[in-house]
Amino acid sequence: MHELAITQSVLEIALRHADGAGRITRLNLVVGDLSSVVDDSVSFYWDIVSQGTIAEGATLHFERIRTRFRCNECESDFEPDGRVFECPQCGGQSIQLVAGREFRLESIEVE
Ligand SMILES: [Zn+2]
């Protein structure tokens, strides 16, 4: 259900940006590792919701974004190593999430 709503909104955005194009051939999506969006579910719903639109049959391309944190102490970025949420540079434990939750439509290709 989650993915159905997401897929519908992706379609709406794509159609709004297609701007008089004959056909949408490809959608480039950015998906963070923490976003809980499952590629296969989106692809499954995509075939259903895009039916009868100019985006029908378009390829979905998923770009995965890895989770990244930033240390509030020394401001270095790092990827979490397993379950240790601690800065590898200074050992600081005051950290914030800077990437990994995103889900967005980056671009579309039309013809
Ligand atoms: Zn640090």
For the segment 20-32, what is each residue's pLDDT rounded down to a tens digit?
889 999 999 999 9
**How much is the pLDDT for 19?**
84
Distance 82 CA to ligand 1 centre (A): 17
Q: pLDDT under 50 in the chain at which residues?
A: none
**How much is the pLDDT for 12?**
97
Distance, in Å, from the CA atom of 31 to the CA atom of 40, rounded to the nearest integer, reads 12
Distance 33 CA to ligand 1 centre (A): 22
Residues measured by CB to lie within 5 Å of ligand 1, the ion: 71, 73-74, 87, 89-90, 92
Among candidates 105, 104, 103, 69, which has minimal Cα distance to 87? 69
Distance 81 CA to ligand 1 centre (A): 14
Distance 92 CA to ligand 1 centre (A): 5
Instruction: Compute CA distances 51 → 59, 61, 81, 97, 99, whole Å.
Output: 13, 18, 42, 37, 33
DSSP letters along 47-84, please? HHHTTTSTTTTPEEEEEEE--EEEETTT--EE--BTTB
**How much is the pLDDT for 85?**
80
**How much is the pLDDT for 1?**
53
Q: Write down the pTM of the prediction.
A: 0.84
Going along the chain from its start, the domains and CATH numbers come out as 2-110 (3.30.2320.80)
